[in-house]
Structure formats: C-alpha cells, structure tokens
Amino acid sequence: MPTEFRTLAELCEKLEGTSKRLLMRDLVADFLKKVQADEVEPATSMILGRAFPKWDQRTLEVSWATLRGVIKRLANVDWKEFREAFSHTGDVGAATKIILEKGGKIRKQVTLFEKALTILEVRRRLAVIAETTGSGSRERKERLLETLLGVATSLEAKYLVKILIGEMRTGFFEGMMELAVSEAFQIPLDVVQRASMLAGDVSEVAAIAKVQGKEGVLSIRFQLFRPIRPMMAQMAADVDEALRGHGGESAFEDKLDGARIQIHKSGDKVKVYSRRLTDVTESLPEVVQLVRDQIGAREAILEGEVIAVGKDGSPMLFQHLMRRFRRVHNIEEMTKQIPIQLYLFDLLYLDEASLITDPYVERRRKLKAISGDISLTKQVITNDRAEAERFLREAMSRGHEGLMAKKLDSRYTPGVRGKRWFKIKRTLEPLDLVVVAAEWGYGRRHGWLSDYYLAARDSESGELLMVGKTFKGLTDTEIIGMTKRLKESAVKEEHGRVVVVPKIVVEVAYNEIQKSPKYKCGMALRFARITRIRDDKSPAEADTIQKVKEIYEQQFEKKARYP
C-alpha cells in the first residue's frame, strides 16, 4: 500500500515540535521501517528538505516570486495576512498553512472520493517540475505547482513549500538521519556514515539498507559521476597551531582564492562539479580539455581549485571567477575575458580503487604521477616553524589567501570538518553567513537593497539567528545584482526592510565578536563587511551560531573579559 504524503508531513510536524534528539531519531527510524522500499529514498530526501538526492543534478528552478503567486491564488486572502503569519512564525511553510486554512480553496482533508497524495506521487510531480525547461517554462511550472498544492491538505502544503524552497527547518539534519538509518535497520553507525560519504547522500544508503541490510551498505563504493561532499578544514591561528595539531610536521600548501572543484574522469568523459556538487562542466571547457589531455589514468576522481587570472598570470578577485561558474552561454567569449588556471591537490579514486583511506602524502604522490603538465598546489613539508612562516609570507605575496596545512597521514573524510586539515590566514577567520533581510539605501544607493541582515544557523534547532548587518564591501554592480535577487525572494516588506527567503550566502569579515542584547543569540559582529558573495555555498553550508560562539570565546585567550 503506497504511503500517503500526509504521513510524512505529520512526521515532520512531530520533528518540528520536539528538540529531543533520541525521540527524533526513533520517530524517523520507525517511519523508515514502515514505508515501502521504493519510497525510502524520496522520503528520506524530503524529510531533509530536498526534492532529490544531493548527487542528483535536477533542480526545481522555482523562484519565490513564482511560488508566492501560486500561494496567493490558492489562499484567496489579502497578502498582508501572509506577512502577518510570517511575522508570527518566521517560517514560509508555516505561514502558508495558516493562510490556506483561513480562506484558501485548499482541501482540509481527503474525502472518500478524492485521491490522496502519496510520497511517490509527490516525487513524480517534483520531477516533472524540474524537467520543465525552455520557453514558457515559468508559466508551465506555475500550473504544475498550483495543481500540486491544490490537491494538498494545508499541512501537506506546509511541507511541500518547505521542500520547494529547500528550507525544512525541523532541527533534523543529515547526521541525525544517519542515526535514524542505523537504528531502523540495525546497522552500526560508522558503517552508515562511511557509506553515506561514499554514496554522496544518506538517502541512497537508507534505500539500500531497507532492501539489502548491512551487507548491501558495506558494498557501497564510489561511483564515477556521482559527486561526493568535500573534506573540510578547521581554522588555525598560525603555523604553530598547525604544527602542534599535526604532531610537529605538516604539509603546507597555498590556499588559493578560487573555487574548489571535483573532477570525474572515465576515458574521454569528464565532468566537473562545484563544492555544492553542481555540474559546472559546460562553464569550464578548458578544464575538461586539460584533464582529457594530461591525466594519465583511465578513471580518476580528482580535487582541485580553479582561479581566475590576469594577463600577467596573477590571481583575480573571486567575484570574477564566479561569473564563469554561472555562465552557460557565450562560453568561448567568456574564456577569453576571464581565463582560469587549474591547480590539483588531491586524488580520491584511481582506476577502480578508492584512495580515501590512503595517507595524504601517498595520495599526493599518486596524483603527481598522473597529473602531466597540470599544476599542483605549491607545497612544502616541514617541521620548521620559520620555514612554514616564510612559505606563508610567500603565498600571501603571490596573491593567495594563506596556507592549508595537511596532516601527512590523514585520510580523506568526505563532508567532515576536522583538524587533519587546517587553513591559516593572517586575519580573523571570516564567517559565511546567510542574508535574511535587507534595507533600501539612501542617497546614491536609493532604489538599491544595500544594507544586509546577516544570520548564522543554529545547528541544534535549524533556526537562522541574526548576528549583525552591514552595508559595506560590495561594489555598485554587485549591489544592483543583489537587489534583483533579493526582490525575487522577498517575503514581506515593512518600514523599509525587506525580509527574504534565505538563499544567498556571503563571506563576512569583522573586527571582533561582541556581546549584544540586540540579537536573540546575544552576540554581534563588530565592523562587519562583506568580502565576497559565496554562490558556491548553500545556506546549509553557512557557518553555525555555535561556531560564532566558539570564535567569541577564543577572543579571550588574548583579551581580558569585561567583568
């Protein structure tokens, strides 16, 4: 018997209503045990707020403006009621439920003669929306959305909207889903976590666990052209901290101000993925050709960084590189305007063999052996603080951000941030924050949304908590582009402030973090300024409020606390 989508919505409502981690785990585990095998993957993805698995390149491409129009027609109430509901709940999905219950045409319950939405039917309809492209696609998507929401109950509509905008906010995240899969199918957590890393998504692991159990999960391997989450680094204050953390010796490498990419190769077929696991192959034709010509392996998964370079070969600003990543037309012209340089730094898979459990120095050695004329990131392995400091100064003088420090025997751990890799910069660690609102500017900036409210995610509740605002850092061109994007995602406007669906991530520099009663989190950034727009990061990858608090506490290692 197919599982109704209502059951999934009710589960999500229970998750939203509790902060007890064990209860959340058990609720989801029980649900996974009850649903049909072919429902596990879509259900798991939807519980996490995704229309499709992370590796799936299909995207819904539904703007808030389009979704807002559909909700307005279905609700049949004054839109100010939505704004009031949003002010009360702070959640687009919850506000949708409230106004649909007030005056909408949406059904309150399924009658005897109506067909209930099932999990598989929702997935099918989402797939049709994603595959609707080309001329007139916006109008067709609107009709598809109206049909989908029009046959949903108000509770179902709440969670459909959350899935459509990619913001579930129940406090149940991927790590907890791994716990639930482990509990549901009685598979050790470390086995589930390893399989999730290799598959690139926990939803596929859940589906295999349902049918094949532990043996099936243990058999999961890398799949070419199925991108995996990148390994991440912690911040180190200086080379001393990195050397101490790595037992006195480390591999120091240039930290480039570029975009991290993952390259998959099988014969002449080459695909390039961004750190968000998005296929950017068409935007980087010179990388594809370089890999075809130079990589001396039949199959490989490589990691590297691309930077935009000027005529003299020196690095250009990150913002110019992002123009390449967003480009899908006139690529040949753009390759002349913004040439790029590829640097490789890791090798994860080589001719049917995974290398992620190999020590880093061994992976690097194998990478060098197959890289041909492709540059590797400049590296020095040392236990000498003075040599590492000199290498850092040289990296900065070459126009790079700083250094990476990698433990010589470190394994590659997809999606995990740890001390096996450090990043070292001369300034306070910047934060990647989400723009949640903006204010209209004055004077020369009249007509532009130019003062941005910045938020970090609470890793426990999923709530976005404001930590400050800024009008500094962006160029006029960037502000004009930001204004257009924010207007398209506006939820409400009052007193000159526009609240938006949280989609845009920005890198923010600041002088310090201080106590502040102004914000719910009790902290605020001092002298915040945006250093770049992180279109290569999703809101789920933004920094957490827990990290902000950690940096706040670290300040007192060198400063006195106010009594």
What is residue 299's predicted lDDT score, i.e. its pLDDT? 97
C-alpha distances (whole Å) from 289 to each of 15, 258, 263, 324, 530 are 48, 19, 12, 16, 35
C-alpha distances (whole Å) from 522 to each of 9, 467, 514, 515, 530 are 33, 8, 9, 6, 21
Q: What are residue 544's DSSP bridge partners?
A: 457
Tell me which amino acid residue 269 is: K
Closest CA to 343 of 289, 266, 290: 290
Which distant-in-sequence residues (6+ apart) come within 8 Å of 318 by Cβ? 257, 258, 259, 308, 532
Q: Answer yes or no: do 271 and 384 share one domain.
A: yes
Residue 415: pLDDT band with limits 50, 70, 90: confident
* The domain boundary residue, chosen from 373, 395, 424: 424
255 catalytically annotated: yes
* The domain boundary residue, chosen from 147, 165, 183: 165
Percentage of the chain beyond pLDDT 90 is 69
> How many Cβ atoms sit within 10 Å of the Cβ of residue 541?
16
* The domain boundary residue, chosen from 369, 389, 424: 424
**Domain that residue 136 falls in:** 5-165
Give the 3-state secondary structure percentages of the chain, helix then strand then coil, rounded to 5.
45, 25, 35
Residue 324: pLDDT band with limits 50, 70, 90: confident
213 in any annotated domain: no
Q: Answer yes or no: do 291 and 327 share one domain.
A: yes
More confident residue, 48 or 327: 48
CB 81 within 8 A of CB 99: yes
Q: Answer yes or no: do 269 and 336 share one domain.
A: yes
Q: Answer yes or no: do 85 and 134 share one domain.
A: yes
**CATH number, position 537:** 2.40.50.140
Domain count, the chain: 3
Structure tokens at 358: 């190999």
Q: Answer yes or no: do 19 and 161 share one domain.
A: yes
pLDDT above 60 for 384: yes
As a whole number of angstroms, the distance between CA 392 and CA 383 comes to 14
HSE (CB half, 13 Å, CA atoms) of 438? 30
86 in any annotated domain: yes
Residue 65: pLDDT band with limits 50, 70, 90: confident
- Any idea which residue has 């709530």 for tokens? 463
Greatest alpha-carbon span in the chain: 78
The overall average pLDDT reported for the chain is: 91
188 in any annotated domain: no
More confident residue, 319 or 175: 175
**CATH number, position 344:** 3.30.470.30
Q: What are residue 434's DSSP bridge partners?
A: 455, 505
CB 324 within 8 A of CB 308: yes
What is residue 396's predicted lDDT score, i.e. its pLDDT? 85
Mean pLDDT for 101-128 is 77
What is residue 196's predicted lDDT score, i.e. its pLDDT? 92
Q: 504-531: per-residue pLDDT in tens?
A: 999 999 988 888 889 999 999 988 999 9
What is residue 562's predicted lDDT score, i.e. its pLDDT? 44
**CATH number, position 15:** 1.10.3260.10
Closest CA to 169 of 107, 93, 242: 93
As a whole number of angstroms, the distance between CA 414 and CA 178 comes to 14
What is residue 267's predicted lDDT score, i.e. its pLDDT? 96
Closest CA to 304 of 251, 254, 358: 254
Residue 502: pLDDT band with limits 50, 70, 90: very high
As a whole number of angstroms, the distance between CA 514 and CA 524 comes to 5
pLDDT above 90 for 13: yes
What is residue 167's predicted lDDT score, i.e. its pLDDT? 86
First to last CA, the chain: 64
As a whole number of angstroms, the distance between CA 421 and CA 254 comes to 13
Structure tokens at 395: 């990296």
Q: Answer yes or no: do 470 and 547 share one domain.
A: yes
Q: 423-468: per-residue pLDDT in tens?
A: 998 667 899 999 999 999 887 888 899 999 999 999 888 889 999 9
194 in any annotated domain: no
More confident residue, 114 or 61: 61
Q: Answer yes or no: do 242 and 369 share one domain.
A: yes
pLDDT above 50 for 563: no
Closest CA to 284 of 225, 236, 231, 326: 326
Q: Answer yes or no: do 415 and 478 share one domain.
A: no
Q: Give the DSSP H/E element, type plus range, for residue 127.
A: helix 119-130
C-alpha distances (whole Å) from 534 to each of 5, 206, 259, 504, 514 are 34, 31, 10, 8, 24
pLDDT above 80 for 418: yes
173 in any annotated domain: no
219 in any annotated domain: no
Structure tokens at 439: 């204010």
What is residue 104's predicted lDDT score, i.e. its pLDDT? 55
Q: Answer yes or no: do 473 and 408 share one domain.
A: no
**Options 54, 162, 210, 255, the catalytic residue:** 255
Q: Answer yes or no: do 409 and 284 share one domain.
A: yes
State the angle between helix axes of 92-103 and 154-165 in degrees (0 to 180), rounded to the nearest 10.
Answer: 150
As a whole number of angstroms, the distance between CA 254 and CA 379 comes to 7
209 in any annotated domain: no
Q: 345-374: per-residue pLDDT in tens?
A: 999 999 989 999 999 999 999 999 999 999
Q: Answer yes or no: do 420 and 435 share one domain.
A: no
325 in any annotated domain: yes
> How many Cβ atoms sit within 10 Å of the Cβ of residue 20?
10
Mean pLDDT for 481-494 is 91
What is residue 319's predicted lDDT score, i.e. its pLDDT? 67
Q: Answer yes or no: do 396 and 452 share one domain.
A: no
